[in-house]
Amino acid sequence: MTSLPPALLPGASIAEARPATLGVLGGGQLGRMFIHAAQQMGFRTVVLDPDGISPAGQIAHHHIETPYDDADGIAALARLCDGVTTEFENIPAKTLDTIAAQVRVSPHGGAVAIAQDRMLEKTHLAKAADVSGVGPGPWVQLLAGDACPAVAPEMFPAILKTARLGYDGKGQVSVAQAGDLASAWATLGGVDCILEKRLALRDECSVIVARGFDGHMVHLPVQRNWHHQGILAVTEVAHGLVAPALAQQAINAAQTIAQSLNYVGVLCVEFFVVDDGSELGRLVVNEMAPRPHNSGHYSMDACDVSQFELQVRTLAALPLPMPQQHSVAIMLNLLGDVWFDKDQLRNPPWDDVLAMPGVHLHLYGKIEARVGRKMGHINITGSDLAPVRDIAARISGLLGLPTPA
Ligand code: ADP
Ligand code: MG
């Protein structure tokens, strides 16, 4: 795959001289940060998103405002762009395939189709475990239209998840015991679901890998994640926070998964660390995202190459040197809750937050704050973990953010 020129070609005709244009399906915050990275490198940019005021649509050179399966919108995107990527997994795989017939697309529709369906995903992750040794936890599938299956008591307590369209803990319900399964399934509308045994988590971590068209792979350092009410709240990245032996296993497993999908682009794989009586615990693969991921946002301020620049580089077939982390980092997610004091809207105390050293505020340009809605994040960087944690704690106090016990 030839590399796409990010800047004007000297001496070329006007038609040839234009920098390449990169497009993204989806106008959310991940699309916005991809556009920022692409523009920083000199690319022209296009967003396709039905929302007229999406975070990425606001800042792209061109915004195609149609649904993701609209033939005219898709045709316009393919016509305007030299390469197209996606910022969320619920793009119809057919849309990616249609565009791929005209311009390069990464990731390919087949990989996205697997990542957007928890049944296909779990099956694929189990297969990859034959090579990596790191597989998913126990799970059972529930198929729409079938009778509710009889599930062994040792699967409970469990979590029932819709196979498709779930995110940030949405489309999930807890199921305490086998007798509660049928009614839990009904509350999710009886659609295709998977039932997962609720594992006792010692920790959670994730890995961002980037794989080029030539199969070359690089990765970011392994992130340690803390979720609150099913939504990522805090990511910490410093050497040793995830035991090096587990981190290496996680990297190997994520690379195996990327390879097995013949993946091109940025892929995030999430893991659980569960107790198995051993000193470090055992890794279990949770899920994957065929795109940059919330847990990789720290890389924007703590690494020499961010996950969004990796997405640009893979799509444009530019070189992929191994990213280096130059600062210890903590990422705090900012949900819409921060804009509320009880029921009253408030202006969060940014002056106090930004007065602290090493603080990088990222807001996504969303015009309405809603409880539970991702509005932005703060990266805190420094040379040592203790003072960075100290500042994270002070910011959490100021903004009323949830903190690990
Ligand atoms: P989402 O697509 O919303 O990220 P996940 O399946 O990753 O959904 O679940 C969100 C979070 O809920 C996980 O990061 C973890 O904290 C918790 N969780 C999900 N599944 C399990 C499980 N089987 N056992 C224990 N905790 C779980
Ligand atoms: Mg998840």
Q: Indicate the residue among 146, 172, 197 that finishes a domain.
A: 197
Tally of domains in the chain: 3
Position 258 in a domain: yes
pLDDT at res. 169:
76
CATH number at residue 323: 3.30.470.20
Query: Ligand 1 pocket, 122 CB below 6 A?
Result: no
- What is the distance of C-alpha 391 from the center of its chain? 25
pLDDT tens digits, one per residue of 131-146: 999 999 999 999 999 9
CA gyration radius for the chain?
21
Residue 6 lies inside a defined structural domain of this protein: no
Same domain, 156 and 222: no
pLDDT band for position 166 (cuts 50, 70, 90): confident
User: Measured from the CB, is residue 297 less than 6 Å from ligand 1?
Assistant: no
| Together in a domain, 334 and 369 | yes
CA of 304 to the centre of ligand 2 (A): 26
Structure tokens at 227: 């979720």
Residue nearest to atom 2 of ligand 1 (CA): 167
Q: Are residues 62 and 143 in the same domain?
A: no
Q: Provide the pLDDT confidence category of residue 161 given band limits of 50, 70 and 90.
A: very high
CA 166 to ligand 1: nearest atom: 2
- The stretch 42-47 carries a mean pLDDT of 96
Say which CATH number the domain at 176 has: 3.30.1490.20
The set of residues, in sequence order, having a beta carbon less than 8 Å from that of 93 and lying 6+ positions away, is 109, 110, 112, 113, 116
Q: Which atom of ligand 1 lies nearest, measured to the CA of 200?
A: 25
- Rounded CA-CA distance 295/288 in Å is 12
Domain that holds residue 149: 138-197
Q: What is the pTM of this model?
A: 0.95
pLDDT of residue 69: 96
On whether both 219 and 291 belong to a single domain, the answer is yes
CA neighbor of 56 nearest in space, from 93, 30, 22: 30
Q: Which atom of ligand 1 is nearest the CA belonging to 198?
A: 24
| 122: its two tokens | 């779990």
User: Please, where are the H alpha helices in 41-176?
Assistant: 71-80, 93-100, 109-115, 118-132
**In the structure encoding, which two tokens stand for residue 306, read together?**
């961010």
Distance from the alpha carbon of residue 380 to the mean position of ligand 2, in angstroms: 22
Q: 397: CA distance to ligand 1 center in Å?
A: 26
Is 7 part of any domain? no
Residue with tokens 């949830």: 402
> Would you say residue 82 lies in a domain?
yes
Cα(287) to centroid(ligand 2), Å:
6
- Give the tokens for residue 255: 């690379």
Would 127 be classed as within a structural domain?
Answer: no
136 lines ligand 1 (CB under 6 A): no
Atom 21, ligand 1: residue with shortest CA distance: 198
pLDDT of residue 15: 57
Q: What is the pLDDT of residues 324-357, one digit of tens each?
A: 999 999 999 999 999 999 889 999 999 999 999 9
Mutate to test the pocket of ligand 1, among 139, 286, 294 (most ligand atoms within 8 A of CB): 286
Q: Tell me: cis bond preceding 402? Omega within 30 of 0 counts.
A: no
**241 CA distance to ligand 1 centroid (A)?**
20
Kindly report the average pLDDT of the chain as a whole number.
95
Q: Residue 380: name the closest of 328, 336, 335 by CA.
A: 328
Largest Cα separation within the chain, whole Å, is: 73
Place of tokens 């920083």: 40
Q: Answer yes or no: do 239 and 349 share one domain.
A: yes
pLDDT of residue 12: 60
Does the beta carbon of 286 sit less than 6 angstroms from any atom of ligand 1? yes
Question: Residue 9's beta-bridge partner residues?
Answer: none
Atom of ligand 1 nearest to the CA of 201: 25
Look at residue 354 and tell me if it is in a domain: yes
Residue 160's φ and ψ, nearest 5 degrees, are: -100, 130
SS3 219: strand
Residues 150 and 233 in one domain: no
Domain presence at residue 120: no
CB distance 284 to 122 below 8 Å: no
Between CA 222 and CA 241 the distance in angstroms is: 9
Residue 289, φ and ψ in degrees, nearest 5: -125, 125
Based on the fold, state whether residues 253 and 293 are members of the same structural domain: yes
| Inside any domain, residue 404 | no
How much distance in Å is there from the Cα of 361 to the middle of ligand 1? Answer: 27
